[in-house]
Amino acid sequence: MKLRVLALATVLIVLPGIASAQLSAPNAEGVSAGHTHLYIADLAKSREYWLNFGLTEVKSDKIKNAFSAPGMLVLLREQAPVLPSGQTSANHIAFSVKSYDVYKAKLVAMGAKLVLDKADTGQILADLPDGVRVEFLTDPAQTETIKFHHSHVQTLDVNGVRDWYVKVFGAEAGERAGMVSAVIPGGRVDFLAARGDAPKASKGNAIDHFGFEVASMDAFKAKMDKLGIKFDRAPEKRDDLGLTIAFIVDPVGTNIEITQGLAAVAKK
C-alpha cells in the first residue's frame, strides 16, 4: 500500500480509546517510543486541535494534559514556546492516518499554515497556530484512524546523529524516503538534513523534547555510564507521577526525556 505523506505543524498529540494508550513492547535493549512534550501558548485551543484530529485524552490520576495514539503519548504544557519547532532540531512528529482529504480539511479549518501541499502525492507541510510541525502519512488500509509513525530530527550531520541514536537506544539503522533512520518499537526517528545554519536546540521551544520509555532505568544509566554520556538531569524517582525520569541531550541539542513506568501510568 502506497503511503502518502502529510506534514503539518502541531502542538500535542492524543488518540482514541484505552487500547491506544498502550506503548509498544521494548526492543532487545529495553527501549520503545514513549512521548512527545509540546509547549503551547493556549492549552484550551491546543486540546481542541488534537481532539479534532481524532486523538483521545488519557484519563490518569498521575499525568495531566496527555493524549494518546498507538505507539506514542503526547503531553501538553501551557507555556509559550520561544521558537516554532521547524526552526529547531526537534523539527516535527509524524502520524499515519486513513484519509488525506479529511486531515487536510481539518488543517484548513483550524487555520494551519500550509507550507507545502502536493495533491498528487498527498503530501502536506503545515504549521499549527502554536508553532508545532507535524507530518501525516496516509494509509487507507490501516485500521486505526491515526497512529504514531516517526519523530523527525533536523541536523547538519544526519549520519553521525543517526549513529548516536542507534548506539544509545539500541535502534536499528534504517532508511525511509531517502533519509537515514533509527528504528525502534512504536516508531522511528528520521533525520532531516538542515539547510544553512544549524537548527536551534529544542528546549523551551514548541517541541520541547522527545521521550523514550525504558524497561529499566538502572540498566539505561549503566549503559550511559559505559558510553560516557552525561545526564542533563540525573535519574529521579517521582512518586507524584508514578515514574522514574531522566534527561539527556543529543549531539545537536535535542532535549530527550527517558521514562520508566509511563506505559503503566497511562493506563490508569
Q: List pLDDT tens digits, range 134-157.
A: 988 899 899 999 999 999 999 999
CATH superfamily of 4-266: 2,3-Dihydroxybiphenyl 1,2-Dioxygenase, domain 1 (3.10.180.10)
pLDDT at res. 20? 39
> How many Å is the Cα radius of gyration of the chain?
17
Q: List pLDDT tens digits, range 112-130.
A: 999 888 777 777 888 999 9
Candidates 26, 30, 72, 28; CA nearest to 217 is: 30
CA dihedral 128, 135, 70, 213 (to 10 degrees): -90
Q: Which residue has the higher pLDDT, 65 or 13?
A: 65
Grid cell locating 230: 552525561
Grid cell locating 90: 526537534
Q: How many CA atoms lie within 13 A of 25 on its CB side?
A: 1
Domain extents for the chain?
Answer: 4-266
499515519: which residue's cell?
Answer: 96
DSSP codes joined into one string, 196-254: SSPPBP-TTSSEEEEEEEES-HHHHHHHHHHHTPPPSEEEEEETTTTEEEEEEE-TT--
pLDDT at res. 268? 56
Alpha-carbon gap, residue 260 to 74, rounded angstroms: 16
